[in-house]
Structure 1
Amino acid sequence: MLDINFIRDNAEAVKEGAKNKGFDVDVDRLLELDEKRRELIQENEAVRQRRNEVASAIPRASNEERPELIEEGKELKEKLQTLDDDLNAVKEDYEKLLLMVPNVPLPEVPVGETDEDNVELRSYGEPTEFDFEPRDHEELGELLDIIDKERAIKFAGSRAYLLKGAGALLEMAVMRLAMDIMVEQGFEPVLGPVMVNEGAMTGTGFFPYGREDTYHLERDDKWLVGTSEVYLVSIHQDEILDLEDLPKLYTGYSPCFRREAGSAGADTRGVYRVHQFTKVEQVAIIPADKEKSREVHDMLMSNSEKLMQALDLPYRVAAACSGEIGLGQVLKHELETWMPSRNAYSETHSCSSLYDYQARRSGIRYRDEDGNIQYAYTLNNTLAASPRILIPILENYQREDGSVKVPEVLVPYMHGITRIEPKR
């Protein structure tokens, strides 16, 4: 969340940022609650101080003075209870509203509403051209018998799928390659819980707005994560780190779950948009330094590009517009990979800088070089998400006979399979 002092001093910029991001939040109401909260705190402290003075005076008071002091003490106690109740009510509304205020986008973020307003920054490779009529990944998956939606939907419902045989190996190969790149780059691999408490979802900024898109295990009051970012950031929840311990560079490998609320009827063919997927994620926790944050942002982005170039897939990097960058981000870059069946570059990675937004919500702090306590900065980026990453692999590497060449970099992970052949 944002520092309330920042919101007070930059109310118009906060309002403009929220509007450009598409969030409807009442900043004026928040500031009213903040003022009332401070008034009640001040009054509460004054009454509490007077009550302590009276309590100390009673034993020393004369017989004539003591009854009046005792009566005043009772009145002060009642008044303090009323003030506490009023303050708690105001604080509850204030804290709820504060959690809903989005971070302010950096000036370089293009103003826009959808991914069509994203701005291309650079590209790698060229869209694949075929001298035959190419198949989409769903048709290829059926022909090769590596993707089975029909049977999965039978027992798991809409947007379910099975990866079989070489399809399962292909996903695991990409994930192993991704994890190898992360370890080589000095990231610490972490396998963590995908069922988490509400506090972890709120602390990382996925709540309150993301509840509709999150699976809730009501009996245990746990939530299924949509990214390992949730547990990677939450590792240091409510901790004070030493400066020499930063940066913390983590990579998570996990199943992920999203309801895809509001996407009914969209991307129903194939496995572009599904309820369960697998992901390798990057998270960095660093000192509160904007220049360093940008350096790390670019480093996280370069890791994703390293993977895509190793796979030799055409892609472009775009600056995400204000309507696409989410609640906590000040900056987001998307890596969009060429998918022939969509005749477009489509998002496979998103790299986000959040400054201290998550750290404030999660209580992640550190001692700076002067010994002062500061909130840390956090960043994250996808390295690989499957089955979405399989779409460009299958579609760009397909051959006229329906077979698919395995990218060379994945062959060592594929148990000798260099080409996935149609089932005869």
Structure 2
Amino acid sequence: MIDVQVLRASPEVVERSQQRRGAPVSLVSQALEADLLRRTALTEFERLRAEQNAFGKRVAAATKDDKPALLQQVKGLAAEVKAAGERAAVADATFDQVFRTIPNLVLDGVPAGGEDDFVLMREVGERPTFDFPARDHLELGELLGAIDMNRGAKVSGARFYFLTGVGALLEFALQQLGLARAQAAGFVPVITPALVKPEIMAGTGFLGEHADEVYRLEADDLYLTGTSEVALAGYHCDEILDISAGPLKYVGWSTCFRREAGSHGKDTRGIIRVHQFGKLEMFVYSDPAEAQAEHAGLLAMQEAMLTDLGLAYRVIDTAAGDLGTSAARKYDVEAWVPTQHAYRELTSTSNCTTFQARRLNTRFRGEDGRTSPVATLNGTLATTRWIVALLETHQRADGSVTVPEVLRPHLGGRDVLEPTA
């Protein structure tokens, strides 16, 4: 959640952020009104409780003859205190409900607008051209014995698949390459749970506008995560972290699940938009003053991966209206997909400032000894979708695919993926 002090002292800052997101500005005034009612109710409750405590001392010092009347007054005062406490609790819950609907404050420089209002930061690499009819990733995957959508649908339904043979090996190779690079950069490897409690899912901001994309196991009151960011954000909840030696950095792998609600008819061919996939995610806990520098570092690692894999890509500064609830700024890295004649998102990195940490009560102790919320950042370093761009970019006329040099050590030295018989 945002800092309540900012809401109180500078509501115009929150309103401006809402406007840039295209989100309801009226939430700001609603939250301020609810905050005032909450504080008024709490003040009244504390006044009555102080009066009750003072009256209790009078009863203790009263004579035997005076006590019956005083005890009768105590009962009436106790009833008032109880009622005031209930009013304060309701007012607090009402405020919390409104306040939590306000998304993170977008950072200065983030473009306003919606999905199409991003700012292009750079394009890198040459888009591949072919002197033969290019095949899409699914046709290539089937030729290589790497992707089986038909059996995925037979076993699990639409938007499920099997990665087989070199397809499975390619997925593992990508994850291993990313993991090795993350470790070299000081990230601690983690295999995270795929199921989390509601308070963890809510704490990361995934139960807001995108709640319909999350799978829920009602019988167990648990959620399937769509990214290991969720579990990694919850890893240090209710803790005070020592980041005096620098940010805490983790790289988490997990199987991820997304319902892809509202995407019917979009990217139904192949493995671009599916319900289950593997993902390697970087996650950083840092001093808020260092968050923007850490964000740039995550983006640099992502770009280095795509460059070394020989993929043409572009980096965009995502517009405010296309940010998730928790993100204050997000960069998307999109690779060129030849058969679609378009850039498609392969990875993104978000600076969530202190928004998630406030919800999850994750703090650090500053030089003055006081505790305050940390900043959290995340960025994907490899995921199943990368196979799409790899196969299409490095395809050859006979349906074989050249393996990028950086992946060869993770594929047993193999330099070409050959079609199966």
Query: Do they superpose with TM above 0.5?
Result: yes
What is residue 329 of structure 1 aligned with on the other side?
327
Question: 1:159, 1:194 → 2: CA distance?
Answer: 19
Give how far 1:63 is off: 4.1
Check the 8 A contact 2:349/2:379 in 1, yes or no.
yes
Check the 8 A contact 2:402/2:415 in 1, yes or no.
yes
- AA of the residue aligned to 2:165: G
What is residue 389 of structure 2 aligned with on the other side?
392
Question: 1:285, 1:309 → 2: CA distance?
Answer: 27
Question: 1:359, 1:125 → 2: CA distance?
Answer: 37
Question: 1:59, 1:251 → 2: CA distance?
Answer: 61
Once the two structures are superposed, residues 185-242 of structure 1 have per-residue CA deviations (whole angstroms, 9 ceiling, x without a partner) of 1100111211110111111111233321111111211111111111112111001123
Question: 2:121, 2:30 → 1: CA distance?
Answer: 39
- AA of the residue aligned to 1:402: G
What is residue 267 of structure 1 aligned with on the other side?
267
Match of 2:400 among 399, 403, 412: 403
What is residue 128 of structure 2 aligned with on the other side?
128
Check the 8 A contact 1:145/1:422 in 2, yes or no.
yes
What is residue 412 of structure 1 aligned with on the other side?
409
Q: What RMSD, in angstroms, separates the aligned Cα atoms of the two structures? A: 1.4
Indicate the larger mover: 69-78 or 154-163: 69-78
Change (3 A) 1:243 1:151: closer
Give how far 1:353 is off: 0.7
Match of 1:368 among 366, 369, 378: 366
Question: 1:265, 1:22 → 2: CA distance?
Answer: 26
- AA of the residue aligned to 2:127: P
What is residue 45 of structure 1 aligned with on the other side?
46
Check the 8 A contact 2:208/2:325 in 1, yes or no.
no
Check the 8 A contact 2:22/2:113 in 1, yes or no.
no
Check the 8 A contact 1:349/1:382 in 2, yes or no.
yes
Secondary structure of the equivalent of 2:244? helix
What is residue 310 of structure 1 aligned with on the other side?
308
Give how far 1:246 is off: 4.1
Once the two structures are superposed, residues 98-119 of structure 1 have per-residue CA deviations (whole angstroms, 9 ceiling, x without a partner) of 11101121221111211x3211
- AA of the residue aligned to 1:373: T
Question: 1:91, 1:19 → 2: CA distance?
Answer: 26
Check the 8 A contact 1:338/1:345 in 2, yes or no.
yes
What is residue 108 of structure 2 aligned with on the other side?
107
Equivalence map 1:155-194=2 (5 Å): 155-194=155-194
Question: 1:323, 1:244 → 2: CA distance?
Answer: 35
- AA of the residue aligned to 1:355: T
Once the two structures are superposed, residues 390-409 of structure 1 have per-residue CA deviations (whole angstroms, 9 ceiling, x without a partner) of 01100000011111111111
Indicate the larger mover: 157-166 or 119-128: 119-128
Give how far 1:81 is off: 1.2
Secondary structure of the equivalent of 1:253? strand
Check the 8 A contact 1:243/1:369 in 2, yes or no.
no
Once the two structures are superposed, residues 137-177 of structure 1 have per-residue CA deviations (whole angstroms, 9 ceiling, x without a partner) of 11111222211101110110110011110111011101100
What is residue 254 of structure 2 aligned with on the other side?
254
Q: TM-score, normalised by structure 2?
A: 0.97
Check the 8 A contact 1:111/1:323 in 2, yes or no.
yes
- AA of the residue aligned to 2:94: D
- AA of the residue aligned to 1:227: T
| Structure 2 stretches lacking a partner, 5+ long | none
Indicate the larger mover: 119-128 or 173-182: 119-128
Secondary structure of the equivalent of 2:288? coil
Q: TM-score, normalised by structure 1?
A: 0.96
Secondary structure of the equivalent of 1:366? strand
| Structure 1 stretches lacking a partner, 5+ long | none
Indicate the larger mover: 12-21 or 51-60: 12-21
Give how far 1:71 is off: 2.1
What is residue 86 of structure 2 aligned with on the other side?
85
Once the two structures are superposed, residues 27-73 of structure 1 have per-residue CA deviations (whole angstroms, 9 ceiling, x without a partner) of 21211111010001111011000101111110211345323322221
Give how far 1:20 is off: 2.6
Question: 1:179, 1:384 → 2: CA distance?
Answer: 9
What is residue 354 of structure 1 aligned with on the other side?
352
Secondary structure of the equivalent of 1:107? coil
Check the 8 A contact 2:204/2:230 in 1, yes or no.
yes
Equivalence map 1:212-291=2 (5 Å): 212-244=212-244, 246-289=246-289
Secondary structure of the equivalent of 1:26? helix
Check the 8 A contact 1:21/1:326 in 2, yes or no.
no
What is residue 423 of structure 1 aligned with on the other side?
420
Please list every run of at least 4 consecutive aligned residues from structure 1 whose deviation after the TM superposition is greater than 3 angstroms: 22-25
Secondary structure of the equivalent of 1:332? strand
